[in-house]
Amino acid sequence: MKIDYLIAEIGSTTTVVSALDFNSEKILVAQGKANTTVLQGDVTLGLRNAIKEIEEFLGEKITWNKMLATSSAAGGLKITVHGLVEDMTVKAAKEAALGAGGIIKTVTAGKLYRSDIRKLKELRPNLIMIAGGTDYGERDTAIYNAEVISKENLGIPVIYCGNIANREDIKDIFSEQEIYIVDNVYPRIDELNVEPAREVIQKAFEKNIVKAPGMDRIKEMVDGTIMPTPGAVMESAKLLYESIGDVLVIDVGGATTDVHSVTEGSKEIQDILLSPEPKAKRTVEGDLGVYINSSNIIDILQEIEMQGLDAEYIRNNIEPIPSTEEQKRCSVILTQKAVDVGLQRHVGYIKRVYGAGKKFIAFGKDLSKIKYIVGTGGALTRLPGGENILKSLRYCKEDLTMYPRKEAKVLIDHMYIMACAGVLARENKECALRLVKKSINLQ
């Protein structure tokens, strides 16, 4: 059988391969999964095993026009961020890195110290981001940090996204190293410009992922785009935004809970917002997972949230793939808590200020204009009750809030395909939109 695309999602433990045929009514012809084989030194072993499962399901061999991939294997896309001011250029660079699918390993503000360099060497990130200074503003900190990092000759790609007045000096400093220079992520006070940096981060990832241990043979099979898996989910969210409007995507996994939002928010909130937020925002809660990090969630569960169960019972009924009704029940309890806390950390808040009369100020991301809440990831798409969990996030009162309103509609990524659609969007946006809309039943 000949298909259009084969798309692999290479996770830290499992590799899932989707066979897509856009001439078929189903589009998703079949999926195969296998253990990820990065630690065995060759990721293609797992890819071939997953393809073999597809062929066994179909009862015939398959060929394809193009193969694409997303990856969170080999530790994912590890990034360190070094800027000038914590709540300005540092925040902007962090937003760019997270939106591109990065895992932030450390962040510094101001000039780097010896201890910072020691930590950088220990972490061995995939990418280093240097920011700092509005355009034609402060220059010295970014130049100093660039010189310190360059002298260490770490062999790690560097992305410079600070004051554009420094560009020529940065080129000279990293003249013999891999350097990417992009538009300033914080060009003017209260203005974010994160999309150019996000695009370059993903290009640098694709160029360098093939050098990671176990991933060096991936280009033997994957002849199209390779993206970080969380960055691909964000691409799907942005694609949906272009088609259906303001969208919130929540991905609950075994180790983390990722929240993606694409919305400008309301004008009412914008007028009282103290600092800018990106239109497309991603937060990663590395302590909220329903298997690997399940203990963290169990420890913060309130008695009313346990549905008559005790913490030890829940702890003893958590499995990576729940099979019994009790295991599913316990996993649903953890999923609800992960979603609640994950959104609480993602959304902004409003504060009443007293002084010359009463007024309000706002901090963080405004989700009050969200039209659709989409659930993806194994917990929300494969466990019962995903829709009800997401419906509980909607704020039903009439007072001012930054939470999604009661009008927001809930959708589930039934085919668990958002990462695949995101990487496909880099090659074929029309097909990617058809795929993700079919998965969420919005055709």
Interval 430-439: pLDDT, tens: 999 999 999 9
Which tokens belong to 60?
């015939």
Q: How many domains does the chain have?
A: 3
Same domain, 342 and 205: no
Q: Which of 141, 175, 209 is the last residue of a domain?
A: 209
Same domain, 161 and 303: no
Q: Which of 179, 209, 239 is the last residue of a domain?
A: 209
Output the pLDDT for position 358: 67
Which of 254, 198, 242 has the alpha carbon at shortest distance from 77?
198
Output the pLDDT for position 357: 64
Output the pLDDT for position 266: 94
Amino acid at 97: A
Residue 352 main-chain phi, psi, to 5 deg: -85, 130
Which tokens belong to 302?
């309130």
* Cα 117 to Cα 129: distance, rounded to the nearest angstrom: 14
* Cα 269 to Cα 401: distance, rounded to the nearest angstrom: 9
The residue assigned the tokens 């996993």 is 331
Same domain, 336 and 233: yes
Strands 349-355 and 357-363: antiparallel
Output the pLDDT for position 355: 67
Q: What's 182's domain CATH number?
A: 3.40.50.2300
* Cα 383 to Cα 393: distance, rounded to the nearest angstrom: 18
Residue ranges in the chain whose pLDDT is less than 70: 355-358
* Cα 115 to Cα 150: distance, rounded to the nearest angstrom: 16
Same domain, 58 and 81: no
Q: What's 35's domain CATH number?
A: 3.30.420.40
Domain residues for the domain of 18 are 2-74+212-223
Any idea how long the chain is? Answer: 443
User: Residues 62, 5: contact at Cβ < 8 Å?
Assistant: no
Q: What's 353's domain CATH number?
A: 3.30.420
Output the pLDDT for position 235: 96
User: Residues 174, 92: contact at Cβ < 8 Å?
Assistant: no
The residues, ordered by sequence, that sit 6+ positions from 377 with a Cβ below 8 Å of its Cβ are: 250, 251, 252, 253, 258, 416
Same domain, 240 and 272: yes
Amino acid at 1: M
* DSSP per-residue string spanning 208-265: HHTTSTTTTTGGGT--S-EEEHHHHHHHHHHHHHHHH-SEEEEEE-SS-EEEEEE---
Same domain, 245 and 164: no
Which tokens belong to 269?
């909130």
- HSE-CB at 241 with a 13 A cutoff on CA atoms is 22
Beta strands in 72-183 (DSSP E): 77-83, 102-109, 127-130, 158-160, 179-181
Output the pLDDT for position 80: 96
* Cα 136 to Cα 326: distance, rounded to the nearest angstrom: 61
Same domain, 56 and 136: no
Same domain, 373 and 281: yes
* Cα 343 to Cα 283: distance, rounded to the nearest angstrom: 9
The residues, ordered by sequence, that sit 6+ positions from 152 with a Cβ below 8 Å of its Cβ are: 117, 120, 121
User: Residues 362, 402: contact at Cβ < 8 Å?
Assistant: yes
Element housing 48 (H / E): helix 43-58
Cα 264 to Cα 184, 267, 357, 370: the distances in Å are 21, 8, 28, 9
Q: Which of 165, 192, 223 is the last residue of a domain?
A: 223
User: Residues 148, 122: contact at Cβ < 8 Å?
Assistant: no
Same domain, 135 and 50: no
Same domain, 157 and 237: no
Which tokens belong to 125?
């990130």
CB count within 10 Å of CB 148 equals: 18
* DSSP per-residue string spanning 372-387: EEEEESHHHHHSTTHH
Q: What percent of the chain has pLDDT over 70?
A: 99
Which tokens belong to 358?
């009463």
Same domain, 89 and 155: yes
Same domain, 94 and 21: no
